[in-house]
Amino acid sequence: MRDIFEDIFKHQPLDPTESARRSLRPSLRARFYKEAHVGEGSDGFLVLLDGRQVRTPARRLLSAPVRGLAEAMAAEWTAQSGVVDPATMPLTRLANSIIDGVADEPRPVAAEIEQYLGTDLLFYRAPEPEGLVARQCALWDPLLAWAHEAFGARFVLAAGVIHVQQPAAAIAALAASIPRGANGVNDIWRLGALSVVTTLTGSALLAVALAAGRLAADEAWAAANVDEDWNISQWGSDEPALERRAYRLAELQAAAAVLSLLRDANARPAGAQASH
């Protein structure tokens, strides 16, 4: 089972945008287990296949810091029918990238998210057409107002794609909310999910808002795809583009699930466990 698992996932790139762009379709293996479920161990909540521990491509245990995340991954394995297709398992792929990548080098991941605050999607507005301008304002302006109210950060907007220098104080205020991996495994998972959202959307501000519960996943998706949705409404879309779009949406929903479940776990009183 170990070798099969590694073979299935080892060629999956950690970057979700790269995954979508390449639309990887590895040789799929037949389902080799009867049951996926969750167990507890020193590494957290484990995903088990027929009672056996599963390891990531880097030979680490596939586990999660909260039961809800492990159960969601186990559900992905349960949903496989006939063959095991990584393309339909976004949360398991995200877990692999966090456990095998982010956990070892959290600081560069956090630094990359922070860099997006200097060129965030939400700062650059279309000069026309009027309908697109209005849509950007409707979805993006409330988030900029929230950033000012919640963090004291006031950013500069630009028309078009000409770079504008953002105030250092504004960047620092938002950057302080980015986890650095110093506060345990929950921090690492939160950082990994934030990285995925930032990369997919081109906006660290959207990622921070999603992590804080200011946005739901569908709201973050709509805000990130204003331009694309506008173009589709005007010109339509083709099947490959829609397939890539669905892949990206699944990646964002998986990251949003991580952020939501971790936020819920932190909100529970110390020692409390979710009922099952």
Dist. CA 260–CA 216, nearest whole Å: 9
Convert the pLDDT of each residue in 112-140 to its tens digit.
Answer: 999 999 999 999 999 999 999 999 999 99
- Check if the beta carbon of residue 156 is closer than 8 Å to that of residue 164: yes
* 272 confidence band (pLDDT: 50, 70, 90): low
Looking at the fold, whether 33 and 111 belong to one and the same domain comes out as no
Domain count, the chain: 2
pLDDT in tens, 245-266: 999 999 999 999 999 999 988 7
Whether residue 50 is found in the same domain as residue 179:
no
The CATH code of the domain that includes 177 is 1.10.3580.10
Q: Would 61 be classed as within a structural domain?
A: yes
Verify that 117 and 169 share a domain, yes or no.
yes
Q: Are residues 59 and 116 in the same domain?
A: no
Examine residue 272 and state whether it is found in any structural domain, yes or no.
Answer: no
Lowest pLDDT segment from 13-22, 64-73, 243-252? 13-22
Position 158 in a domain? yes
Which residues are bridge partners to 47 per DSSP? 38
Q: Are 95 and 128 within one domain?
A: no
Instruction: Map the chain to HEC letters.
Output: CHHHHHHHHCCCCCCHHHHHHHCCCCCCEECCCCCEEEEEECCEEEEEECCEECECCCCCECEECCHHHHHHHHHHHHHCCCEECHHHCHHHHHHHHHHHHHCCCHHHHHHHHHHHCCCCHHHEECCCCHHHHHHHHHHHHHHHHHHHHHHCCCCCCEECCCCCCCCHHHHHHHHCCCCCCCCCHHHHHHHHHHHHHHHHHCCHHHHHHHHHCCCCHHHHHHHHCHHHHHHHHHHCCCHHHHHHHHHHHHHHHHHHHHHHHHHHHHHCCCCCCCCC
Would you say 17 and 199 are in contact if contact means Cβ atoms under 8 Å apart?
A: yes
Verify that 255 and 172 share a domain, yes or no: yes
Domain boundary among 80, 102, 124: 102
Q: How far apart, in whole angstroms, are the C-alpha atoms of residue 182 and residue 176?
A: 13
**Do residue 165 and residue 88 come from a single domain?**
no
Residue 43 belongs to domain spanning: 2-102
pLDDT tens-digit readout, 144-179: 999 999 999 999 999 988 999 999 999 999 999 999
Q: What is the pLDDT of residue 43?
A: 79
Q: What is the CATH number of the domain that holds 90?
A: 3.30.2180.10
Q: Is the pLDDT of residue 234 over 80?
A: yes
Confirm whether pTM is higher than 0.85. yes
Query: Is the pLDDT score of 108 beyond 70?
Result: yes
Say if residue 110 is in the same domain as residue 233. Answer: yes
**Res. 188: pLDDT tops 90:** yes
- Asked if the structure places residue 163 within a domain, the reply is yes
Over range 104-116, report the average pLDDT.
Answer: 96
For residue 20, name the pLDDT band (cuts at 50, 70, 90): very low
Q: Give yes or no: residues 8 and 89 share one domain.
A: yes
